[in-house]
Amino acid sequence: MSDRALNQARGRLIVAWATVAIFLGVLALLATRVAGGQDPALRARAAAAPLPPRRVLVRRILEKRVIVHLPPSAPAQPTQASQQVSAPGGYPSSLPVTRTS
Amino acid sequence: MSPLHDITFHSMGSDIRLIIENPLLPGLDSPEVAAQQERSYIEDFAARLSRFRPDSELCALNADPAHEAPASLLLRTAVAAGVWAAERSYGLVDPTLLGEIEAVGYESSQDGHEPASLHEALTSAPPASPARPRTSARWREIEIDHERATVRRPPGLRIDTGGTGKGLAADAVAHRLRGYTRFVVDCGGDIAVGGIGHALDPIAVEVEHPLTGECVHVLRLAAGGVATSGLNVRIWRARDGSFAHHLLDPSSGEPVWSGLIGATALAPSALEAETLSKMALLTGPAGARRALARHGGVVVHNDGDVELIGPVGPGGARAQHLLGSAA
């Protein structure tokens, strides 16, 4: 092997060793940071903008009921079967009643 | 204030009351004469449409074996009102339940009969259940032909116009009285109100409690109708000792026990009010709230509690509540 060929082989070997050394150096640096809780991927996610809170629509259904409790009392007297009234005023003598018939 | 004429008489198995004020236009009869004319009209109406009078037009129609039978304008209108009510109530107020109502014991008029105790009936009533329309809906097979002056229906299908008769009569008389300042037509609690006077000064109508007879509410009407259906009047003991009444569940043909004992409805007409009040009573508390939501009404539960629904309820402008206030 000539001197020139030896020099070329030595140069390639140096480049290869240098590449491996740089790779191992960077790998060691990253491993150290990950071990220290400084995972860049996790940090990027944590640094992202927080999600907006979910909106929950609450509908309240109101049902109005009026319950009237009546005190017990005697039944009303039935209407007189036949009667006629002519009143001078503008209103009847007794109010009309809606009832079961 | 102008003078009014107030007349009460008995017809259609109920007390009928007419309140008529002065005519708006010259040439119309006095309120007194008009009241007598309308009394005659109602008595004729009742005689021609009663299912308890063998000589009535309704009985003649039901006895006619032909598919198409002649019918007067009044009879055609009454049949049309029954079909309209069935349509309006989704088949709940069914005019073809004559056989069923006779089968439960309502074969003859109960006018003057003492009703059975509603209190006792409720203690032995089955669990509350809303009525449902009959799937066959035979009322859809009824056809009214005004050109030929006939009614067509399958032979043997009998028609009962009683479920809508009082409301229709009240509307008919109200229509005849439209030239008067104001009037009230009360056909046994199914009431039509009209006239310019009432539009300006609504009349108060009391709602009677079916158990106590007390006034539980006052409705104010400018026009239109109000009607009440309940279990407290047409109620009797069947031959087996059980209680029965005249408001039937179309799906079973049996008296309904829906959880309500009374329902009062407001509507633009007395016929619609009568239909809605029956619909409310038949469908029970939940159904009544739907049926009465638009025009308003009052229902009475089995335990006697009174519930106001729709425009007559809280915030409604059409009613004045009496209890607890100076009436």
Which residues are CB-contacts of B302 (< 8 A; sequence separation ≥ 6)?
B122, B125, B128, B259, B260, B261
Which residues are CB-contacts of B290 (< 8 A; sequence separation ≥ 6)?
B283
- Whether B287 and chain A come into contact, CB under 8 Å, resolves to no
| Of B118, B218, B201, nearest in space to A75 by CA | B118
pLDDT in tens, A16-31: 999 999 999 999 998 9
Q: Which residues does chain A have within 8 Å of residue B264's beta carbon, measured at their own beta carbons?
A: 98
Residue B299, amino acid = V
- The answer to whether B118 touches B210, Cβ cutoff 8 Å, is yes
Domain ranges of chain A: 3-47
Evaluate if residue B127 carries a pLDDT over 90: yes
Residue B135, amino acid = T
pLDDT in tens, B226-236: 999 999 888 98
Residue in this structure with the two tokens 């002519």, named with its chain if needed: A86
| Interchain proximity B205–A95, CB inside 8 Å | yes
How is domain B4-320 classified at the CATH fold level? T-fold (3.10.520)
ipTM: 0.80
Evaluate if residue A84 carries a pLDDT over 70: no
Domain ranges of chain B: 4-320
Residue in this structure with the two tokens 């009444």, named with its chain if needed: B245
Most distant CA pair in chain A, distance: 147
pLDDT in tens, A31-57: 988 888 777 676 655 556 667 777 776
- Whether A67 and chain B come into contact, CB under 8 Å, resolves to yes
Q: Which residues pair with B5 in a beta bridge?
A: A86, B20
pLDDT in tens, B44-103: 999 999 999 999 999 999 999 999 999 999 999 999 999 999 999 999 999 999 999 998
Tell me the whole-structure pTM to 2 decimals: 0.77
The secondary structure of residue B103, as a DSSP letter, is H
Both structure tokens of B204: 């108060």
Q: Quick one: which H or E segment has residue B184?
A: strand B183-187
Name residues 78-117 of chain B within 8 A of A (Cβ).
none
